[in-house]
């Protein structure tokens, strides 16, 4: 077992999304051959949606027994159910509505019109995680956690200068006054994210290069939250050439 970080570079965003989708389908088939079910954490954002669409459109999509796959989210905009800006709504349109999957396998964060108090909403999602967790754990056995990375180095809704690396006792937090709209969000914490066996970060664009370079160079998670992300088995950055401009040569892998 290794928890080292690796960077896999793709020539452009289309090949990036397609490659990650193919790897994901293959890995989920392998996981289900070894386990009763798989737990996947989804992300929002441009590359999150592109990857989900590529999974949906893959000719290998139906080799997966989706009835044994559970989907969670790393963060969510605290908006009413069905709002077009919610990550779960975008994921349904990009992927989930096309899968033969029970509704009970889809675990969105609470919507603001269902649980109006954001702290109560965070507690409710934390409780749902516990219900699906192995005995003694606070989250399910996350097999793969997808994350995007912002130009400022944020992951999920954990933003710089918020002391996010110090939050150890909670798995879910309410986020108020976020630096990008909407200001209220719900997010997994770094301990929840880092409990995942594999963290796959998918990012593209030259504006992501500085944050990625700083994270790999050992920056403080308080300044660059992505620097605090480390999966239990693997942490892989799937990037395009533009985002890889500041990546040290020794961290670039030709294969997964």
For residue 134, what are the domain limits? 5-251
Q: Note the pLDDT of residue 103.
A: 97
Question: Is there a domain that residue 256 lies in?
Answer: no
C-alpha to C-alpha distance for 116 and 119, rounded to whole angstroms: 9
Question: Is there a domain that residue 30 lies in?
Answer: yes
C-alpha to C-alpha distance for 58 and 62, rounded to whole angstroms: 9
pLDDT tier, 164 (very low <50, low <70, confident <90, very high otherwise): low
CATH number at residue 146: 3.40.50.1360
For every residue of 23-86, which 3-state class applies, written as one string?
A: HHHHHHHHHHHHCCCEEEEECCHHHHHHHHHHHHHCCCHHHCCHHHEEEEECEEECCCCCCCCC
- Label residue 156 left, alpha or beta by phi (over 0 means left) and psi (-120 to 50 means alpha): left
Q: Count structural domains, the chain.
A: 1
Question: Is there a domain that residue 234 lies in?
Answer: yes
Question: Is there a domain that residue 92 lies in?
Answer: yes
Write the pLDDT tens digit of every residue in 176-225. 999 999 999 999 999 999 999 999 999 999 999 999 999 998 899 999 99
Write the pLDDT tens digit of every residue in 106-131. 999 999 999 999 999 999 999 999 99
Residue located via tokens 């009413």:
80
pTM: 0.95
C-alpha to C-alpha distance for 111 and 220, rounded to whole angstroms: 32
Does an H or E element contain 123, and which? helix 118-131
Write the pLDDT tens digit of every residue in 57-91. 999 999 999 999 999 999 999 999 999 999 999 99
- Label residue 205 left, alpha or beta by phi (over 0 means left) and psi (-120 to 50 means alpha): left
């Amino acid at each position: 077992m290794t928890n080292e970080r690796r960077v896999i570079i793709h020539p452009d965003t289309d090949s990036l999304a397609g490659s990650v989708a193919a790897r994901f389908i293959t890995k989920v088939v392998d996981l289900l051959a070894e386990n009763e079910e798989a737990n996947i954490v989804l992300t929002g954002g441009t590359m999150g949606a592109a990857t989900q669409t590529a999974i949906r459109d893959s000719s290998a999509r139906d080799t997966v027994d989706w009835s044994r796959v559970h989907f969670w989210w790393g963060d969510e905009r605290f908006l009413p159910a069905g709002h077009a800006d919610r990550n779960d709504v975008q994921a349904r349109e990009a992927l989930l509505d096309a899968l033969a999957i029970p509704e009970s396998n889809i675990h969105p964060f609470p919507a603001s019109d269902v649980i109006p108090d954001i702290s109560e909403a965070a507690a409710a999602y934390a409780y749902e995680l516990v219900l699906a967790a192995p005995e003694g754990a606070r989250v399910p056995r996350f097999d793969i956690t997808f994350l995007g990375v912002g130009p400022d180095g944020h992951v999920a809704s954990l933003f710089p200068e918020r002391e996010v690396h110090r939050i150890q006792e909670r798995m879910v937090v309410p986020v108020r006054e976020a630096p990008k709209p909407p200001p209220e969000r719900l997010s997994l914490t770094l301990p929840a994210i880092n409990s995942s066996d594999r963290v796959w970060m998918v990012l593209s664009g030259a504006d992501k290069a500085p944050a990625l370079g700083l994270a790999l160079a050992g920056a403080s998670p308080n300044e660059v939250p992505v620097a605090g992300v480390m999966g239990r088995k693997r942490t892989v950055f799937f990037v395009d050439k533009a985002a890889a401009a500041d990546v040290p040569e020794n961290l670039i892998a030709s294969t997964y």
